[in-house]
Amino acid sequence: MILQSLFNYYQILLKDDSLGIATPGYSAANVSFALNLSPAGELLDIFPFTTKFFDGKKERERNYRRMVVPEQVKRTVGISANFMCDNSAYVLGVSGKEAKDLNYAEKRFSVFRLLNAEILAKANSAVARAVIAFLERHEPQTALQHPVIARHLEALLKGGNLIFQVNGENALDDPEIRRAWEEYKLGQDAVQMQCLVTGEVEPIARLHPSIQGVRAANPTGASLVGFNERAYESYNRIKGQGLNSPVSQRVASGYGVALNYLLSNQNPNRKIYLGDTTVVYWAESENKGYASAFAALINPEFLEAESAEDQIPRKKAEKKMGETAEKVQKGQALDVAKLREGLDESTRFYVLGLASNAARLAVRFYLTEPFGVFAERIMQHYDDLKIEKEFANQADYLSPYRILAECVSPKVTRRDDEVKQSWSLMGGALMRAVLMGLAYPEGLHAAMLNRIRHDSDDEKRSVKINYIRAAYIKAHLIRKYRHQDQNPYQEALQMSLNESFTHPAYVLGRLFAVLEKTQREAIGQNMNATIKDRYFTSASATPASVFPILLRLAHHWTAKAEYGGISDRRIQDLLGLLDAKPFPSRLTLDEQGVFVLGYYHQRAGFYSKNGEKAEETE
């Protein structure tokens, strides 16, 4: 199903001439140099390729150009050459690794010369003969003395692919060379079998294409499909590799091109990172508005930027997203109707989450629904999270990235092991829950409560109970009980304070907020530690062991505070809601979440909507 949807998207991409999508048998690669040859095969010059881009601050240059070349091989530890496009060790026999292996580059050039001469011999053109003449004449032992190579040697040794030109014209544009390559590619001892995707009998791909751009995966690429152990093989297909999952060469090449495009910077809709999961998305339509609208909905603030290249302006396709982000940052409502304007709600949409798994890719999730269904589920996610904000300028729409960021200590960076381990387990599960309308993962709720227990308020970054954490706990409990007969905490899961709800966990959370406020009024702000720092964890988990102590201390605070009478009356009113029941000996995880909501709601209730302290009178 995944391969089929990617191959269908490949067919859509082929119709867009502006993208330069590779046809079967070809792939896109970064090319850094062109060897300009004479018709007789003499090396005239080496042309370096550069590409200008904007990194968010100023215009910069890359030392390569993205080009369509013959499909490249998947290298492991052996020596294997590409056709008409490879690095300097293969094309020129020049490398900086001779210190460990004196024949390192020479062996690679020999393999490159043999392969290319074999294929080019079947191409009846002057361009092919010029390349053959160069390969036959070139000697790696004397390559460093060639004036053209010596002039560019430093740049060549840094790496990068090279292609051939003849009199300034790209040799890969020669029709005879392309014909010879395509015949070789499709006729190389391929087993004919029925393709699992198309159902047609076609040459089967033994090795599937390398996929680049997935976080933490091998930079040279990783396989989505592959077999290399006898235990994984079936039907006696010993050493069959791709034959265990027969996919035609045409389909394998197509889905590889489509997936590499989705993961590349060429795609105007940036990939989303959630921990170790890289998320790509596309619609079964030529209209790019579906993907840009989805990106704006799922991550309206562009919170994840991996590098300067990820911040490159995406021209027209990202203009709508940029306008959305600017509005959200200014606190304006997300104009969902405008984002979905002109889009067919029934168009099939796909979301794929990939993660690194050694030399292969692991599929974290694969979801497909009509676009309108995804849009409604994302907005349901935001609606469930709605709660009274601490400050007016806080975001109305909390993306999955923002929620995951609250599950790790503010003292570590997102690249630390704690972040990677936490997000790798929960990132994909959270995204799946949002897009499928399911309950949020229980592990995320536990992680959020764990951070509340361990964090403490300080003047810099750390806040024990904040807007995002309270909003998530509320949404978690709403979604957990949404499809059950009844929700015992429904009255606590409101935007703001519910003074009539009498569940002990909610009332005790409110009571703790009142006691904390009473302490501050009596002692002032200059305290080494408040009762929240010392007692909140115990109070939310085992109330019976803490609240009797706090109530005894409260008698001293109310006597000392200026408005102690008001605080004392509030304490008595809340104790009255408990109906003379003893304090619970312990609270479940759900009840601890309700306790946090009671605390957050009561604390927010002390202040008016404009952020100023509410007037208190006897």
Read off the pLDDT of residues 354-407 as tens digits, 9 standing for 90 and up: 998 877 899 999 999 999 999 999 999 999 999 999 888 888 888 888 898 888
Does residue 168 have a pLDDT over 50? yes
Q: Is 197 left (phi over 0), alpha (psi -120 to 50) or beta?
A: alpha
Give residue 242's identity as a one-letter amino acid code. Answer: G
Phi and psi at 531, nearest 5°, equal: -65, -25
Tell the residue number behind the tokens 């993306």, with chain if given: 399
CA 574/CA 506 separation, integer angstroms: 10
Q: Per-residue pLDDT averaged across 588-604, rounded? A: 95
pLDDT in the model for residue 239? 54
Q: Which two tokens stand for residue 452?
A: 């509340």
Q: Which of 321-325, 349-353, 405-409, 466-470 has the lowest mean pLDDT?
A: 321-325
pLDDT, mean of residues 274-291: 91
Listed range (46-55, 102-111, 351-360, 459-468) with the worst mean pLDDT? 459-468
CA distance 594 to 504: 9
The per-residue pLDDT for 226 is: 79
Pairing of strands 59-62, 272-274: unpaired
Summarised one tens digit per residue, pLDDT across range 15-27 is 888 888 888 888 8
In angstroms, rounded to a whole number, what is the distance separating the alpha carbons of residues 515 and 548? 12
Q: What is the largest CA-CA distance in the chain?
A: 102
Of residues 547, 516, 54, the one with CA closest to residue 315 = 54
**% residues pLDDT > 70 (the chain):** 85
pTM for the whole structure:
0.79
Q: What is d(CA 304, CA 505) in angstroms, rounded to the nearest whole number?
A: 36
pLDDT band at 112 (very low <50, low <70, confident <90, very high): very high
Q: Count the helix, strand and coil residues of the chain and give each as a percent rounded to the nearest 5.
A: 45, 15, 40
Give residue-wise pLDDT tens across range 46-103. Answer: 999 988 876 667 788 889 998 999 988 877 778 999 999 999 999 999 998 876 777 8
Lowest mean pLDDT among 315-329, 336-350, 497-511: 315-329
Averaged pLDDT, 189-212: 87
CB atoms within 10 A of CB 178: 18
For residues 414 and 392, the model is more confident at 392
| Structural contact between residues 311 and 305, judged by C-beta atoms closer than 8 angstroms | yes
- For position 61, what pLDDT does the model report? 85
In the prediction, which pLDDT does 220 show? 77
Query: Which residues are CB-contacts of 612 (< 8 A; sequence separation ≥ 6)?
Result: none
DSSP codes joined into one string, 488-532: TTGGGSSSS--TT---HHHHHHHHHHHHHHHHHHHH-S--S--HH
Residue range 599-616, pLDDT digits in tens: 999 999 887 443 444 433
Annotated domain spans of the chain: 21-188, 500-618
Q: Give me Rg for the CA atoms of the chain.
A: 31
How confident is the model at residue 83, as a pLDDT? 96
